Structure 1
């Protein structure tokens, strides 16, 4: 049965769940250094928790639980500034996570930094580009893992020289095996130490202490699970998509989404931003075989929120392929709808399609990533494959899709401005039974665990 069979707008959410899950990775060497001795900084990754132009968060790890205080030395031309790190234990590991904030530098110039632990432990020096004030570029993919193709995606993004990276969930595929997280961070350090990486959690992150490994190893804005940030004329809104439902925060997150997107739509109508980009791991609609429909109770409730406030771009992973939609709503093309881009070919595996729906504009069974160029009132995207048509490693990048998204008209912007709804109104207007929404989402996540076990033993 297809999820498009459930496309009636406003349809009741009292639907039985068909819940295929997200697959697992196969093990592979990271290509990065093995975890080092105590006090050696490793797995460096850059993000931000504040202004993307004027601050950077540097996060890294040391083995053992007794490392000397970590210090980031940074500057522009010379290392004349320092930032002392805070340390906390990574989930279920004899590993410390260190975090430091870099501020007070000239945001228009490149920034150099290095990490020191004591007198004899000094990392390599890395250079961070300034974040552009106007046009900028970023990359998006999901479902990464530690395969040969995972490393090709990493290297391809480095080759393209983007300003930052957005990973749409399912990062390491540790699935409870915590050393896999260290291996994954060592692999991505080739990219993440010099290019900011922001993430949304996926269902495989739930399997490490209901996201505890994810929460204790990354530095993100807000509560670190769901958050929002502005970058020039785009507001990015990042959701768990219900990945951590068993922690009891799903309704609070949906109310946060209602408020955040309502405020974003009002800001867009005032001309403060041009685009709203929504990021989560799970697809809303898909043609991947065996995947659809997936948790329709949450899907239809969530989609009503996205459409009410005119989300422009929906960036997802979860389905192990590349698929892009036309502007769409409830499984049908609609000019004022959102464009969904599934970048699930990040490296862990490739699945199959069962066909191509009317909403689908392009689909490829390729390991790939998407590069977005935001230029004024336009977003131009190119999708780069890192493999050949038969999923063999390629010697370079191949463009397999491109599209352009124009900013909404003034009328369309104004039509997306609505009052913020409270929980009762939100559920009543969508005829949603909250008990079913939460139960179906938990069942979906449980089915993902079954899928993981099946793939690991297949």
Structure 2
């Protein structure tokens, strides 16, 4: 309101500062009377323009099904030959990758307000595939088109998939955005999202990716909210892959297409979403059917951890199957992580079921997950940096994933394994194992260290487990 300026009500004049995100078109300021119920336009300003209206903005990295390739998406007003320049260490070996471009209009949207008052021309959306990257290595990059180029950003490739790999990532849901200058929007904003993104940005250099499991910006038909959202997450999405799932607020308009279909990047996680209140048409009516059909899949494929959103809270279960706590490592732990920004939910049972281990409906935040071959640790971080909850999952049998029943013996006399020394002095001595002659090497080949019974020299991998592996 104008009255936020201390001189306005007494003098009819005032001023305050407002932060503007480049939305690819000039801004016009207006003064209106009558509040929000009966707005009446009194005056408008001259246009406010950006010196670089075609400024490349909104960088967003994403994983693909190739561990040596990332996708980069960004936005401009228009472009003739959009591309990315990327390099390691110095600028002496710059690679360039052309981008593909597309856009949408109001006619592509489902209905109002996206087709009417909420529509802003989105400009062009550009996507480039950065291939031939080395897992774990640092790269610099710049995107745009002559003469408009972005600032120089950098990213570190996630580690390559491997039985020995360790990764660490951030996960949350139901975040949204808000104006850092405290201005209002046509829809309800989520101010806690600012603290969360600022805190995540401080640690993102130590993470391999971010997982936002649904209810992304809460734009709800107002396109300008997406510009503000991408501006808010830029310090994160420009640095690590920012992976998302669709929530109900991304596909909640009637006839907006199938919720379950889309282009497969090769790495989407499963996401099941609740979209209604308690009524005859509510999905809560079929919750038993969901449990009956989904839970067996999670158990069959030995899922350790399941993330859920939509309810704006943090909740954690024991390892649970059929509403009964199980031994660690034998059933998935379910964690609700919908506490990243949208108003927190208070509809929690007073008496929690026996399989609930932790509930918090008071603190915004996100989760930090560290995964190694034998353990997974999750930390619930409040938006002020306080640790609110943590737990660790461990595999009681580290070779539980090894399919013994599928193991075969198919020896190749041309492959030679040598171990030196083969006579050791004491427990804890080191050896060097070397191999040669593999005609078709694969990234899934591995070395097993076995201790055959009775000192036998031959082994049958279908009948004996390795002591360790590499």
CA distance in 2, matches of 1:332, 1:130: 40
Work out whether 1:137 is the aligned partner of 2:168. yes
CA distance in 1, matches of 2:61, 2:257: 20
Please report the TM-score for the alignment, with normalisation by the length of structure 1. 0.62
Q: Is the 8 A contact 1:205 1:213 kept in 2?
A: no
CA distance in 1, matches of 2:404, 2:337: 27
1:321 aligned residue: 313
Q: Quick one: structure 1 residues 99 and 112, their matched pair in 2 at CA, closer, same or farther if it must change by over 3 Å?
A: same
Q: Is the 8 A contact 2:64 2:265 kept in 1?
A: no
Please report the TM-score for the alignment, with normalisation by the length of structure 2. 0.61
Deviations 1:167-217 (A, max 9, x none): 1101011222233222212221121111211111111111368668999xx
- Greater alpha carbon shift after TM alignment, 79-88 vs 294-303: 294-303
Counterpart among 356, 363, 379 of residue 382 in structure 1: 379
Q: Please list, as runs of the form range in 1=range in 2, the aligned pairs for 1:266-305 lying within 5 A after superposition.
A: 281=273, 295-305=287-297
Work out whether 1:405 is the aligned partner of 2:393. yes
CA distance in 2, matches of 1:195, 1:385: 21
Counterpart among 369, 381, 396 of residue 372 in structure 1: 369
CA distance in 2, matches of 1:209, 1:178: 18
Q: Please list, as runs of the form range in 1=range in 2, the aligned pairs for 1:357-368 lying within 5 A after superposition.
A: 357-365=353-361, 366-368=363-365
CA distance in 2, matches of 1:155, 1:214: 31
1:45 aligned residue: 60
Counterpart among 140, 146, 152 of residue 118 in structure 1: 146
Matched residue of 1:82: which SS? Answer: strand
Q: Quick one: structure 1 residues 297 and 291, their matched pair in 2 at CA, closer, same or farther if it must change by over 3 Å?
A: closer
Q: Is the 8 A contact 1:322 1:341 kept in 2?
A: yes
2:75 aligned residue: 61
Tell me by how many angstroms 1:32 deviates: 7.8
How many residues are aligned here?
318
CA distance in 1, matches of 2:366, 2:198: 11
Tell me by how many angstroms 1:108 deviates: 3.9
Tell me by how many angstroms 1:337 deviates: 1.3
- Which structure is higher in RCO with an 8 Å CA cutoff and minimum separation 6? 1
Q: Please list, as runs of the form range in 1=range in 2, the aligned pairs for 1:213-224 lying within 5 A after superposition.
A: 223-224=262-263
CA distance in 2, matches of 1:408, 1:87: 49
Q: Is the 8 A contact 1:228 1:238 kept in 2?
A: no
Question: Which structure features the higher share of helix residues?
Answer: 1
Tell me by how many angstroms 1:103 deviates: 1.4
Q: Quick one: structure 1 residues 412 and 103, their matched pair in 2 at CA, closer, same or farther if it must change by over 3 Å?
A: closer
Tell me by how many angstroms 1:240 deviates: 4.7
Counterpart among 126, 129, 148 of residue 98 in structure 1: 126
CA distance in 2, matches of 1:100, 1:145: 26
Q: Quick one: structure 1 residues 416 and 319, their matched pair in 2 at CA, closer, same or farther if it must change by over 3 Å?
A: farther
Q: Which has the larger Rg?
A: 2
Gaps of 5+ in 1: 1-29, 216-221, 230-236, 242-280, 284-289, 387-395, 419-458
